[in-house]
């Protein structure tokens, strides 16, 4: 099987399983940013958000919400939680199967998410919003 996450779903690769239902599976990330770092994936192979079944997407978020609560109650350091999903190689997606990271956070964990945030002019924002609305119209 060429997809690592599909192999995990099939039971061909061992994982530290935390949750599973008919739509999604959650397990500990072997490349954890912090202790308790989880991945939530759809059972159905979906290489991108564009291909992801909307019901699977919704279920991933519901499960991530419950996992966030469970992390805080687990005794692991979890004063906060980051949810991260990278879609496409340019965004840092390494495994071509949609996956939502649920990363427990504490003030001293050393994990850092950085970006260079800009402050574009309103007319630039309005132009970009119009472009997105135009493209979005085809999907609703």
Active-site residues, by number, are 99
Encoded tokens for 96: 């071509």
Which candidate, 47, 13, 48, 46, places its Cα nearest to that of 27? 13
Within the chain, how many helices (H) and strands (E) appear?
3, 5
Q: Which residues of 78-98 are buried (b: 16+ CB within 10 A; e: fewer)?
A: beebeeebbeeeeeebeebbb
CA distance 59 to 57: 5
Do 72 and 36 meet the contact criterion of CB atoms below 8 Å apart? no
The helix (H) or strand (E) run that includes residue 73 is helix 54-73
């Amino acid at each position: 099987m060429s997809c690592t996450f599909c192999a995990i779903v099939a039971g061909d690769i061992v994982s530290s399983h935390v949750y599973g239902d008919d739509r999604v599976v959650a397990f500990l990330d072997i490349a954890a940013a912090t202790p308790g770092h989880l991945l939530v994936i759809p059972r159905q192979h979906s290489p991108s958000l564009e291909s992801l079944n909307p019901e699977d997407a919704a279920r991933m978020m519901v499960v991530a919400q419950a996992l966030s609560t469970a992390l805080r109650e687990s005794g692991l350091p979890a004063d906060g939680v980051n949810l991260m999903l990278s879609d496409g190689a340019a965004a840092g997606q390494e495994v071509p199967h949609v996956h939502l990271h649920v990363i427990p956070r504490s003030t001293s964990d050393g994990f850092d998410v950085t970006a260079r945030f800009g402050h574009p002019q309103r007319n630039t924002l309005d132009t970009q919003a119009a472009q997105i609305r135009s493209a979005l119209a085809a999907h609703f």
